[in-house]
Structure 1
Amino acid sequence: MKALRRFTVRAHLPDRLAPLERLSTNLRWSWDKPTQDLFQSIDDALWQDTGGDPVAMLGHVGPERLEQLAADPSFVQRVETLDAELEDYLTRPLWYQQRAAEVSDGNAPAVALPHGIAYFSMEFGVAEVLPNYSGGLGILAGDHLKSASDLGLPLIAVGLHYRSGYFRQSLTADGWQHENYPSLDPQGLPLRLLTGADGEAVLIELTLPDDVTLSARIWIAQVGRIPLLLLDSDIPENDHDVRTVTDRLYGGDQEHRIRQEILAGIGGVRAIRAFTELRGLPGPEVFHMNEGHAGFLGVERIRELIEAGLDFDTALAVVRSSTVFTTHTPVPAGIDRFPLDLVERYFGAGPDGHGSRLLPGVPVDRVLSFGAEDDPAKFNMAHMGLRLAQRANGVSLLHGRVSREMFSELWPGFDAAEVPIGSITNGVHGPTWAAPQWLELGRELLGADDLAQLREPHVWERLQKVDPGHLWWIRGQLREALIDDVRRRLRRSWLERGAAEAELGWIATAFDPNALTIGFARRVPTYKRLTLMLRDPDRLARLLLDDERPLQLIVAGKAHPADDGGKALIQQIVRFADRHDVRHRFAFLPDYDMSMARTLYHGCDVWLNNPLRPLEACGTSGMKSALNGGLNLSIRDGWWDEWFDGENGWEIPTAAGLADDGRRDDLEAAALYDLLEQAVVPKFYDRDGHGVPRRWVEMVRHTLQDLGPKVLASRMVEEYAEKYYFPAARSLRQTIEPVSAGAGDFAEPFGAARELAAYRHRVERSWPRISIEDVDSSGLPDTPLLGSELTLTALVRLDGLRATDVAVQALIGRVDAGATLLDPVTVPMTHTGRTDHGADVFTATMSLPITGPVGYTVRVLPHHRLLSGEAELGLVTLA
């Protein structure tokens, strides 16, 4: 018989062991090895059975064992010491607090340090015990929270609690992916419920069409210093059809998805308000959308401000000033897009026709305009994110360029390079992903337990002191641990697929702890080309089976449950891995998760990545391998495009641009095989008299020294703080400041925001009639020479705008055969007066910057002190 419900009953902790409660529920244990060791020492077998989950393990430990431990002075001392260390971590000044002290003491340039940052993501990969993630986006979000905690940022994170998480993957006998959705009991997870003063669960409520109420309670996962709020709709207060809103990550039809995204965005803002009010905390000043899924948070914030007395456009000015949007998508097909009529149904007027039930006071046409795109029947969530955020970025230098091209339609008249989307290259959380052996070596080189100094590049130069043999010994230890794990997982998978124990004797010697080991593990969309390695299976088999210099390949990954194409790719890999001649050198491991990933990153000598360039936004798996001394073998895409230097791995030449996809795959696969045969394999097996591949180890050393500080998420989060969070907080404070009309006048609240909204109205009304009547280059010399001065004068009709309302610029640079300016220099033009006919006169004098074919033009753009840049409004008039 099956139980109706599964839940966890725990034994009472003895008073002397009470700190175990906090140590188990604060997810800092997931990146703190001493705390993990403490829980493992309670019961090693139980620790393994529960997958290294302190909360689950405490749910199984009997009262007798707990009393025994409470009577053990040495164990109690360990508990008290680790609890004191956690308290110190949670309270001592870290990077953010030190930065604030420097600013307040006048020892650093003045910046606006936000007293709160809200970070929204649809998934969070913090630890495998909290399976709220599907892939790289969620792992990145989890690493963002951990590093924000390590840096002391006042950040609050918001997402959804999925009752079944993503899915557990297994394989059928013929290699087809099978999905299983376990029911996750939040009371058995490292979560606690947000409750009010009366002890009752706090609920947030949303009104959906047909007067359906969607309620959600709020679970808190404590990630070091960072509270992660997870909304849960599976509660008795909801009707059945809305209880399932938070059932699965990325599941269901479009109606299901829009409900999830409404709950994440609008419900997420309401959850933050409830949490901060109960905790007596200031509300966040900066709101960061990690992808467009939670984009509706912007319209909820507009509703709040309208309710407080602002008009829509003034509220929009406030919201934009303090919102950051990060896109992770390099192709339009990866963006969430909803039918326009579906969005209209959720945000339109109620049955009485008197405004939206979901967002009272917010006109539905304004909501729809945020998501407008070239297809008038679609609502584009990324477009909404960009229109609601004053600051936006991609997640690598290359992805920033791709994003500026992809979204350039929102800024017509601007070159793609001028589209205001920047880039911050992703990073990974060092203590989570670096093997304990590397962390211990780091402590030895630092002479301290605190690894915070590893953010400084010069610290990594101390690796020069480490003997090559020691580095190789660490790599060998990690490879051996990986092989042990691979054998365990292979046996379990074959048994699940129907094999008999008697036919699995070969697994005991499968894979060689001394052989060159290559890893490939990630989600399985088509562009990642899981099966490129099988383009010439016979050639691959020869590499695997070489008697003297073999290589071995470990593959893992999940296809989306609805992606039969991705499942077919996995099946191809599994069928090759099932071949009797190669199965001891090539494996597909099912149920890829953080635990498996960590072991692969630790133990693989080479990390393979062969996406279709430029479709990999960043690709942080290779960063995690590099952090463990792994060498990357990759197409120049994502982060590898900017940080590959010829000594930290190998570049697979790309045939990007070929119209024939099959031909492209053939050429890139052949290049991959050539690199393996001619460069990777020989370098790994070329040993000195002590059995050390010295040239290989020097590449490992260089990879750690050069990439180590770059790939850290602490570097990434510092960049977000300096480039986006601090400027956004400053913009918000400038935008909401009161403004008075003159001396003695009442300073109107939100006066600057009202001023900006009025400016925007005025500019957008006038812009279609702005024109550049004439550009005079009478100052051009008869024989232009490099460095000669050119004077330009432009006559501009501003349709009632003031000269201070605009920026007039001259652009000069090289031109191609079609007279297109290439990388022009921008020169501001100065207002010098007006003509008798009412045209404004602007002039500029500049030196001719280059030789060869040169051209120039003049343009007009909006200009206001509260805009982040002159391209922000997407308005430009060209001569």
Structure 2
Amino acid sequence: MINADPSINIAVPKLPQEIEGLKEISLNLWWTWNARGRNLFKLLNPYLWKETRHNPIAMLKSMSQKELNEASKNELFMREYEYVYKTFTTYMNDKNVYADEPLPIAYFCAEYGLHHSVPIYSGGLGFLAGDILKESSDMGLPMVGIGFMYPQGYVRQVIGTDGWQNGAQEPIEKDVAPIERVLDKDEQHFTIKVPFIDPPIFASVWKINVGRVTLYLLDTDIEKNDPWDRQISSRLYTSDINQRLRQQIVLGIGGYRVLEELGIEYSILHLNEGHPAFALFERVRSFMQDGGLSLDDAVAKVKQTSVFTTHTPLQAATDVYNFEMITAAFKDYWEALGMSKEEFMSFGINPDKQSEGFNMTVFGLNMCDNRNAVSKKHCEVATNIWSHVLPASQENKPAMDYVTNGVHVPTWLGDELSDIIDTSVGESWKLLQDSEACWSFVNEISNKKLWKISQNAKVLMVNYIRDRVRVKYAKEGIDPVVAMAEGVLLDPDVLTIGFARRMAEYKRPDLILTDIERLEKIITNRDRPVQIIFAGKAHPADIAGKKILQHIFKTAQESRFGGRIAFVEDYGENVAKYLLHGVDVWLNNPQIPMEACGTSGMKASLNGTLHLSSLDGWWPEGYNGENGWAFGDEPSNTKEDSEALYDLIEKEIVPLYYDTDNSGVPTQWIEKMKAAMTSVTPAFSARRMMKDYLSKFYIPISMDLQKK
């Protein structure tokens, strides 16, 4: 057994004794969702805080010993430091609310969106996983995460002059990231050998502190491995199908082995999508070898104590491996489990497509009795497309349930709004964030005050976008037309619509460009103009998505729009926050029923940004007629939907926004903002989501285990 506690990060410099707690804070992502934690580092050195892209470790490493010594003598800084450090240590030492056995949960996911200093995420799936870890920490829910390091990080988006998306690698800078090596008993970097793989594959283990939750990351880029094997964990979602299978074996089976060797005991295995599903087989092996169970009993126990969350609304969007690949990888494995080849394969065969291969989603559905979709609408879709796989519903338990996604409110709420909430109801609001009564106070905020907060956020967003263009111009000398397309002419006084999501066909990013002549009239209206900001990445292998992106970028270059269409390059967590807080309307128009849930609209709504969306994903649960706008019927029709979208903008949204009182405040618009904040925030918070997981899955599983 390895001690899970020893770890090391050599990036943080030696600090004066008076402020040595800064190291502890900087190595725990708690500060990312606590405003005074962030502001503490900003107070230390505002310029470096900006230059290091809000990375406290990079900032501390850039500071001289003299500066650090001076900070430890600065009365103002020390007063704030002592308060923040005390707040942090109190939080970390609080007794867990759900500490009774056998509740501990192992959460496996291929990506985690936590902060831009740790680029181990691709999109919505990762940010959901990150929010789950953060909320589990806040609730005192005993959880441990397993994922991948991805030393090569993800591909940065670089848009060429012709609007074509290119890629540039952004490797993780481990020496300036909040990541620590886990050490073994000999003080060496802890490394595991992935079981039943020949030739052997090894993975070193790192950890990230997410408040009171620990996330362990596997990394195959070590000298013990052959060059081909070193690349297994290099980047997310590799397009090489053989490497993708090996990646998922390492994540599932290797991740399970990490927990075993660290001596971390847990009772519930939660899989976020099918990528880590091989952990289920490893759990069967563990119950047989360590628990003395028969194969049938071990499989039954794994099914009883595992949760599988599916996000896809399409069968075609699942990972499927041909039988030859699975045989080559698992022949020794199924023999060790006492299974025949047919038994092993049967868990992953899609009855509708038996010759296709081993389907990871089918495997997860078959091996977990606790299954959930990520919205009510998605549950209907998923139940339908997997009806041939799912068992019959029981009286008190549907074959497929749903837990609608939620967002971690302290992470995504703007600082000014957070401050006004703290002032109005006290910091204890974080304990009541899923309560409608807690958010009813929003109605007491003066319209003038809320409008000022909204406009301040828009100014910050526009300045941020302009500054990015300035930096790019200074480095590359970009064409003025490209600078215009990237937002240098944006105006904070203009009604702003934002579309920021993955550039994929089913999301229809260019729906609003369907009738370009009508759009031009809307945008260039002299008295009531509109501007549109786009952002988002196409998958590196998605040519259709890249063509849509190129179409948007070229449209933004047209002078007839006067710089009022912009595409913000390299969409990520930091850009997202500026847009979520700064735009007036958040546009979402997927083809119904192709959106499993979507969470960006939730993040926008809790900041008073109004959601304009087709009725798919979470929006059928969230829309009440007063808190945003809805359009589109099922199945989606592009022509009809674009006309409905233009009608809403021209006849409702624009008039409402520009209808101001004598002080320049759009009263009716702000009432709609308040309706969005009060209705969406409590119902679509991560707090509500995790309570749903507790009541529907975690607690019932624990109660069943305690009976036995």
- Normalised to the residue count of structure 1, the TM-score between the two structures is 0.76
Write the letter of the residue equivalent to 1:557.
Answer: G
| 1:367 alignment partner in structure 2 | 344
Q: Deviations over 1:778-810 (max 9, x none)?
A: xxxxxxxxxxxxxxxxxxxxxxxxxxxxxxxxx
CA distance in 2, matches of 1:457, 1:544: 37
CA gap of 1:24–1:705, structure 2 versus 1, over 3 A, is same
* Correspondent of 1:666 among 628, 631, 639: 639
* Correspondent of 1:271 among 258, 261, 277: 258
CA distance in 2, matches of 1:220, 1:649: 41
Which sits farther off after the overlay, 325-334 or 465-474? 465-474
| 1:312 alignment partner in structure 2 | 295
* Correspondent of 1:286 among 264, 268, 288: 268
SS at match of 1:730: helix
CA gap of 1:644–1:517, structure 2 versus 1, over 3 A, is same
CA gap of 1:189–1:588, structure 2 versus 1, over 3 A, is same
Deviation at 1:377? Answer: 3.2
CA gap of 1:10–1:693, structure 2 versus 1, over 3 A, is closer
SS at match of 2:546: helix
Whether 1:394 and 2:373 are equivalent positions in the alignment is yes
SS at match of 2:668: helix
| 1:45 alignment partner in structure 2 | 47
SS at match of 1:29: helix
Deviation at 1:154? Answer: 0.4
Deviation at 1:366? Answer: 2.8
Whether 1:676 and 2:655 are equivalent positions in the alignment is no
Whether 1:321 and 2:309 are equivalent positions in the alignment is no
Gaps of 5+ in 2: 1-8
* Correspondent of 2:110 among 122, 125, 141: 122
Whether 1:582 and 2:570 are equivalent positions in the alignment is no
Deviation at 1:497? Answer: 7.0
| 2:689 alignment partner in structure 1 | 716
Deviation at 1:637? Answer: 0.3
Q: Deviations over 1:697-732 (max 9, x none)?
A: 111111111112112111101111121111122233
CA distance in 2, matches of 1:36, 1:60: 17
Kept after mapping to 2: 8 A contact 1:321/1:732: no
SS at match of 1:229: strand
Kept after mapping to 2: 8 A contact 1:171/1:493: no
Deviation at 1:564? Answer: 1.1
Write the letter of the residue equivalent to 1:599.
Answer: Y
Write the letter of the residue equivalent to 1:190.
Answer: P
* Correspondent of 2:187 among 175, 199, 206: 199
Matched pairs, number: 697
1:151-166 to structure 2, matched below 5 A, reads: 151-166=139-154
Deviation at 1:72? Answer: 2.7
Q: Deviations over 1:19-49 (max 9, x none)?
A: 1111100001111111111112222221111
Q: Deviations over 1:734-789 (max 9, x none)?
A: 4xx3xxxxxxxxxxxxxxxxxxxxxxxxxxxxxxxxxxxxxxxxxxxxxxxxxxxx
| 1:19 alignment partner in structure 2 | 21
1:128-167 to structure 2, matched below 5 A, reads: 128-167=116-155
Kept after mapping to 2: 8 A contact 1:160/1:231: yes
CA gap of 1:422–1:323, structure 2 versus 1, over 3 A, is same
Deviation at 1:165? Answer: 1.8
SS at match of 1:310: coil
CA distance in 2, matches of 1:261, 1:185: 24
Q: Deviations over 1:471-527 (max 9, x none)?
A: 111111111111111222344456677525799699997222121111100111210
CA distance in 2, matches of 1:54, 1:447: 27
Kept after mapping to 2: 8 A contact 1:306/1:361: no
| 2:363 alignment partner in structure 1 | 384
CA gap of 1:583–1:392, structure 2 versus 1, over 3 A, is farther
CA gap of 1:493–1:522, structure 2 versus 1, over 3 A, is farther
CA gap of 1:84–1:58, structure 2 versus 1, over 3 A, is same
Deviation at 1:73? Answer: 4.1
CA distance in 1, matches of 2:539, 2:482: 32
Kept after mapping to 2: 8 A contact 1:172/1:497: no
SS at match of 2:301: helix
CA distance in 1, matches of 2:483, 2:589: 32
| 1:254 alignment partner in structure 2 | 241
Kept after mapping to 2: 8 A contact 1:8/1:59: no
Deviation at 1:643? Answer: 1.5
CA distance in 1, matches of 2:693, 2:397: 20
CA distance in 2, matches of 1:163, 1:73: 40
SS at match of 2:432: helix
Write the letter of the residue equivalent to 1:122.
Answer: A
> RMSD of the TM alignment (CA)?
2.3
Bigger relative contact order, structure 1 or 2 (CA pairs below 8 A, ≥6 apart): 2
Deviation at 1:9? Answer: 5.8
1:297-696 to structure 2, matched below 5 A, reads: 297-308=279-290, 309-349=292-332, 356=335, 361=338, 363-373=340-350, 374-375=352-353, 376-411=355-390, 420-448=399-427, 451-492=430-471, 499=478, 510-654=489-633, 656-657=634-635, 664-696=637-669
Which sits farther off after the overlay, 483-492 or 321-330? 483-492
CA distance in 2, matches of 1:425, 1:551: 33
| 1:842 alignment partner in structure 2 | none
Q: Deviations over 1:563-595 (max 9, x none)?
A: 111111100000001112225211001100000
Deviation at 1:222? Answer: 0.3
Kept after mapping to 1: 8 A contact 2:469/2:488: no
Write the letter of the residue equivalent to 1:114.
Answer: P
Kept after mapping to 1: 8 A contact 2:498/2:533: yes
| 1:852 alignment partner in structure 2 | none
CA gap of 1:85–1:175, structure 2 versus 1, over 3 A, is same
Write the letter of the residue equivalent to 1:43.
Answer: N
CA gap of 1:271–1:634, structure 2 versus 1, over 3 A, is same
CA distance in 2, matches of 1:251, 1:121: 15
CA distance in 2, matches of 1:699, 1:53: 36
CA distance in 2, matches of 1:331, 1:555: 26
Kept after mapping to 1: 8 A contact 2:485/2:556: no
Deviation at 1:596? Answer: 0.3
Whether 1:190 and 2:178 are equivalent positions in the alignment is yes
Q: Deviations over 1:578-615 (max 9, x none)?
A: 11222521100110000000010001111000000011
CA gap of 1:296–1:583, structure 2 versus 1, over 3 A, is farther
Which sits farther off after the overlay, 610-619 or 453-462? 453-462
Gaps of 5+ in 1: 1-6, 101-112, 659-663, 738-879
Structure with more helix by fraction: 2
CA distance in 1, matches of 2:485, 2:270: 51
Whether 1:232 and 2:234 are equivalent positions in the alignment is no
Deviation at 1:94? Answer: 5.7
CA gap of 1:439–1:592, structure 2 versus 1, over 3 A, is same
SS at match of 1:408: coil
Whether 1:704 and 2:680 are equivalent positions in the alignment is no
Structure with more strand by fraction: 1
Kept after mapping to 2: 8 A contact 1:519/1:554: yes
Whether 1:88 and 2:90 are equivalent positions in the alignment is yes
SS at match of 1:558: coil
Write the letter of the residue equivalent to 1:169.
Answer: Q
SS at match of 1:598: helix
Deviation at 1:173? Answer: 1.3
Kept after mapping to 1: 8 A contact 2:148/2:217: yes
Kept after mapping to 2: 8 A contact 1:70/1:76: yes
Kept after mapping to 2: 8 A contact 1:299/1:367: no
Write the letter of the residue equivalent to 1:711.
Answer: F
Write the letter of the residue equivalent to 2:651.
Answer: Q
- Normalised to the residue count of structure 2, the TM-score between the two structures is 0.94
SS at match of 1:292: coil
CA distance in 1, matches of 2:349, 2:222: 35
Kept after mapping to 2: 8 A contact 1:169/1:591: yes
Kept after mapping to 1: 8 A contact 2:12/2:23: no
